[in-house]
């Protein structure tokens, strides 16, 4: 047996779907970082979730008209898709939007790199997917990258304080850094849970489009219930900035497509591998942030090294996933 695993057609197809999801997610993160400058993330996340519903219904109707629904539907598959939507669109998306506000797109995407690592552990515990020792080495490398990333965040917080922040105490600055890390890692845990639910569901009922639509509907209900006291405030902000609202609606459609792609990939490759590929967003975000946004979020060397180490660990886990 060679040092590298044999790549089957299923792995190629699943990897391609996950890579398309990666590209879409990365573009979404950059767009969110631009949109939150003029439109708050709270109503933005609600609009993005709502935009998934008509998109999912339209695409699903097209599928039903020209194709057929796969057999295997069960109560658990529907519930799992719904829970996945709540974990990702309600908890995960809201936390990642806040993470982008606190850390910028590259910082948020680097913290999100822990999601596939957590998913690998959860998949091993709940789905029986094996992580070989080389995969564990990759996880360790990614954790080292995350630690480096945290130092980069602290360095940026200390270097680029606003006039008001300069008056704050050193302990307050450290609190902000830890709050940023907690929000970023929290979004990672939420997305990891959603991956496990989707992986379990799609292997019973191979309908990623309908599954993503069910998840979007459940997430929208959760968002509406959680924010019901703020509806008048959100309505006023939406009416005052219709352009920003439409921008978040477009982001929601893109995120729906990204979710559908990663769900589809889980049919052909392990859940942990799909998460590894689709959530390597720094591969997309960092070049866009540096070259197109002209390094507006001021990436420093420590942050960049942390991102690279995290990616190296993630890719190592990807290549050797499932090998003992």
Residue 71 · residue 198 · CB < 8 Å: no
Query: Residue for token digits 């049919």?
Result: 267
Q: Could you read off the pLDDT tens digit of each residue along the chain, which spans 324 residues?
A: 455 556 677 777 887 898 899 899 889 888 888 888 889 888 888 898 889 888 888 887 887 777 666 666 789 999 999 999 899 878 887 787 777 777 666 566 666 667 777 887 888 888 888 777 777 787 778 767 766 765 665 555 555 544 434 434 444 455 556 667 777 778 888 888 998 999 999 888 888 888 988 998 998 899 889 888 988 999 999 999 999 999 999 999 998 999 899 999 888 888 877 877 777 776 677 777 777 766 555 666 777 787 788 778 777 766 665 554
Task: Give the integer Cα–Cα distance in Å for 289 and 279.
Answer: 17
Q: What is the pLDDT of residue 203?
A: 85
pLDDT for the residue numbered 172:
45
Give residue 179's pLDDT.
Answer: 67
Residue that is written with structure tokens 């990666």 in the block:
22
DSSP for residue 299: -
From CA 169, how far away is CA 239, in angstroms rounded?
39
Interhelix angle 114-122/93-112, nearest 10 degrees: 100
Nearest by Cα to 149 from 29, 280, 296, 302 = 302
DSSP string, 183-202: HHHHHHHHHHHHHHHHHHHH
Which pair of tokens denotes residue 272?
């942990």
Q: Give the CB-side neighbour count of residue 149, counting CA atoms within 13 A.
A: 30
Neighbours of 76 (CB within 10 A): 13
Written as six digits, the tokens of 268 are: 């052909």
| Three state DSSP letters for 55-91 | HHHHHHHHHHHHCCCCCCCCHHHHHHHHHHHHHHHHH
Q: Quote the Cα angle for 77-81-87, to 5°.
A: 140
Structure confidence at residue 178 (pLDDT): 65
The SS3 assignment for 161 reads coil
Task: Name, in order, each residue with C-beta under 8 angstroms of 262's C-beta and a sequence gap of 6 or more.
Answer: 17, 18, 21, 195, 198, 274, 275, 278
* DSSP label of 305: H
The token pair that represents 223 in the structure block: 């968002």
Q: How far apart are CA 261 and CA 274, in angstroms?
A: 10
HEC string of 20-32? HHHHHHHHHHHHH
User: Whose CA is closest to 52, among 271, 276, 252?
Assistant: 252
Say what the pLDDT of residue 81 is. Answer: 94
Question: What's the rounded Cα separation, in Å, for the pair 297 and 43?
Answer: 23
């Amino acid at each position: 047996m060679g040092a590298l695993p044999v790549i089957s057609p299923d792995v190629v197809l699943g990897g391609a779907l996950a890579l398309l999801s990666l590209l879409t997610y990365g573009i979404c993160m950059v767009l969110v970082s631009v949109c939150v400058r003029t439109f708050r993330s709270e109503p933005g996340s609600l609009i993005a979730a709502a935009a998934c519903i008509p998109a999912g219904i339209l695409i699903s109707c097209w599928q039903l008209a020209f194709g057929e629904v796969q057999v295997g539907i069960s109560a658990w598959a529907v519930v799992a898709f719904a829970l996945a939507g709540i974990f990702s669109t309600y908890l995960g998306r809201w936390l990642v939007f806040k993470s982008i506000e606190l850390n910028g797109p590259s910082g948020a995407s680097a913290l999100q790199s822990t999601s596939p690592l957590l998913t690998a552990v959860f998949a091993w515990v709940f789905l029986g997917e094996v992580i070989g020792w080389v995969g564990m080495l990759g996880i360790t490398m990614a954790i080292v990258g995350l630690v480096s990333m945290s130092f980069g965040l602290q360095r940026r917080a200390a270097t680029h304080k606003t006039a008001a922040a300069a008056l704050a105490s050193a302990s307050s600055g450290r609190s902000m850094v830890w709050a940023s890390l907690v929000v970023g890692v929290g979004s990672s845990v939420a997305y990891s849970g959603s991956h496990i639910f989707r992986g379990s569901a799609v292997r019973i009922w191979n309908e990623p489009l309908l599954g993503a639509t069910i998840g979007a509907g459940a997430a929208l209900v959760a968002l509406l219930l959680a924010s019901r006291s703020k509806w008048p405030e959100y309505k006023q902000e939406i009416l005052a900035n219709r352009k920003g609202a439409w921008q978040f609606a477009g982001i929601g459609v893109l995120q729906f497509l990204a979710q559908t792609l990663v769900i589809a990939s889980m049919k052909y490759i392990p859940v942990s591998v799909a998460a590894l590929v689709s959530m390597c967003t720094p591969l997309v975000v960092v070049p866009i942030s540096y070259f197109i946004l002209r390094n507006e979020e001021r990436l420093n060397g420590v942050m960049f090294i942390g991102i690279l180490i995290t990616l190296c660990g993630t890719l190592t886990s990807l290549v050797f996933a499932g090998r003992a």
